[in-house]
Homo-oligomer: A and B are copies of this chain.
Amino acid sequence: MLKIYGIPRSRAFRTLWMAKELGLDYENVATDMGKGETRTPEFLALNPAGQVPVVRLVDGGALAQSNAIMLHLAWGTDLIPAEPFDRARMFQWLFWEQYSHEPAIAVLRFQKLYLKKSDEEIGPALPGKCERVLTLMDSHLAAKTYFAGEKLSLADIALVAYTRFAHQAGIDLAGYPNVRLWVHRVEDDLRLEHLV
């Protein structure tokens, strides 16, 4: 059986959704970074980078990086556009998410929600980065329903993951109306509750 290492309130939630969305038979092996469980010799043998999520595939191979895992599990499904340019745009947003979105929104959320840092301790750079990220998304979504092509793709799933928790980073999505509508649209597609 497919084993997914991580806990739902970590980056692993993206992988857990995907497995659920695709109706896969899987087991969630609770692995909590906060408890040092990603630093044990057993875990490091599975993923030397010491990060969740990581999956052990049915044939025994280990795979890390949430977006790579999503691509592997969803290969051949409608979540990866067949049209070459739409597929390329999906990849563009997947890499942008890793390089620009996650280091802004997810990091600010972590500092506020888990490290309980004050606005003063955090400073203005990180919130400014979040604002630029959300402005870019809002502007894209002014003319588009989804991020790649006219249908839900892995780009939306990757981007919605932390965007729908933006309020936990102290960000009001009311300032980004197209983003908020899109979050609701993707939540409906994935049969998830609306959080904001």
Contacts and interface: CB of A to CB of B under 8 A. Distances in A.
Interface of A: 48-49, 57, 59, 61, 63-69, 71-72, 75, 84-85, 87-89, 91-92, 94-96, 98-100, 102-103, 136, 139-140
Contact of A85 (B57, B64, B89): B57
Contacts of A103: 103
Given A48-B136, A48-B140, A68-B92, 6 more contacts: A49-B136, A65-B95, A68-B88, A68-B89, A95-B95, A98-B98
Copy count, this protein chain: 2
A91 B57 CA distance: 15
Contacts of A102: 99
Q: Which 6 A-B pairs have the closest CB atoms?
A: A68-B91, A72-B88, A68-B92, A65-B95, A65-B92, A98-B98
Nearest to A133: B49
A84 B16 CA distance: 20
B65 A85 contact: no
10 contacts: A48-B139, A49-B96, A68-B92, A68-B94, A71-B91, A72-B88, A94-B95, A95-B98, A99-B99, A103-B103
Contacts of A85: 57, 59, 61, 63, 72
A91 B158 CA distance: 14
Contacts of A140: 48
Nearest to A73: B88
A131 to B, nearest CB: 14
B67 A89 contact: no
Contacts of A65: 91-92, 95-96, 99
Contacts of A69: 88
A94 to B, nearest CB: 8
